[in-house]
Amino acid sequence: MEERIERIKKQLHAASYKLTPQREATVRVLLEREDDHLSAEDVYLLVKEKAPEIGLATVYRTLELLTELKIVDKINFGDGVSRFDLRQEGVAHFHHHLVCIECGAVDEIKEDLLGDVEQIVERDWNFKIKDHRLTFHGICHRCHDVDEKENEAE
């Protein structure tokens, strides 16, 4: 955790920003909840537990800054809420998501899997791809298991 904060601090410095205590509190929440996909309000409520004086606008600005510097990614799973997701370190490519339409769980796929698709798009559309977003909507293995158990009981 401390090492990652140190590296994020350097990324901010490289872009002439400081890791102020407010920004650090926000970064810590994102690191602690790395597997979650928090909205700005979620982040704000968690940061507030540690730094009660912080305002929502400050958290918003910090999240926008981190997005601009590509430390986090802003994603939307189609529910109209922007969520903030830490990028994996040293990976230009942004991971993929599986969103469960029953329980709302969000799982991540870290492997890319799309190399062939990108090649086709680059060739046929003469488009230089930098990255992509991929979200699958469906029913997760946990909800699947519940369905199966219910069927067995019937």
Number of chain residues interacting with Zn ion (CB under 5 A): 10
Q: What is the Cβ-side half-sphere exposure of residue 110, based on CA atoms within 13 angstroms?
A: 7
Identify the three-state secondary structure at position 55. coil
Near Zn ion by CB under 5 A, which window of 42-50, 59-67, 116-124, 140-148?
140-148
- Binding string to Zn ion for residues 104 to 123, with x set by CB under 5 A, is what? -x--x---x-x---------
CA neighbor of 99 nearest in space, from 90, 109, 89, 84? 109
31, 51, 69, 143: residue in contact with Zn ion (rule CB under 5 A): 143
CA neighbor of 109 nearest in space, from 79, 135, 131, 90? 135
Interacting residues toward Zn ion by CB under 5 A: 85, 100, 102-103, 105, 108, 112, 114, 140, 143
